[in-house]
Amino acid sequence: MKKLINNFMLALGTGFGSGYLPRLPGTAGSVVSFFIWYFLFPINNISSFYLTVFVALLAMSVGWHCEAIFKTKDDQRIVIDEFAGFFVSVLFLPKSLFFGVLAFAMFRFFDIKKPFGIKKLQLINGGVGIVADDVAAGVLVCAILNTLNWFLKVL
């Protein structure tokens, strides 16, 4: 039973295996999250918000579990945090390729560069530390793109 639970957690934690790619596993996980958002996420903003909160909380638990399996702090194979961060990035935006691709590019940039103290969030232990920096990068992208969307509507 423990092996089944560990395999399930690893499937979720590695973004259905995308985290096992030898190069750019975080980007691969973000690509998977983009397609999940674009094809499966609800259009309703409130439903998307609750689903994103659920994924972020799930990512903390799954990330913590996978970290124990891999025996490495914030192992690069754990990409469920990219899911949470990307889903935060696109909150309250129209579901379109324009905003999806822009959010993807900006999220990857901010997740890799970790500006404005985001890098310090990785120092938090366990699942919270795994997810916090990605969610912070997502909040930054969300704020920028929702401001852009507002300006586009006004113009």
Per-residue pLDDT of the chain (155 residues; tens, 9 = 90+): 889 999 999 999 999 999 999 999 999 999 999 999 999 999 899 999 999 999 999 999 999 999 999 998 889 999 999 999 999 999 999 999 999 999 999 999 999 999 999 999 988 988 999 999 999 999 999 999 999 999 999 88
**Residue 123 has what pLDDT?**
87
Q: How far apart are CA 60 and CA 96, in angstroms?
A: 28
Read off the tokens for 127: 């699942």
Q: Considering just the CA atoms, what is the radius of gyration of the chain in Å?
A: 15
Q: Residue 122 has what pLDDT?
A: 87
- CA angle at 12 for the pair 74 and 73, rounded to the nearest 5°: 10
In this prediction, residue 63 carries a pLDDT of 95
CA 131 – CA 19 distance, rounded (Å): 15
**pLDDT at residue number 101:** 98
Q: What pLDDT shows up at residue 155?
A: 81
Contact of 17 with 32, CB cutoff 8 Å: no
In the chain, where the domains are located: 2-154
Give the predicted TM-score (pTM) of the model.
0.94
b/e 51-76 (16+ beta carbons within 10 angstroms → b): bbeebbebbbbbbbbbbeebeeebbe
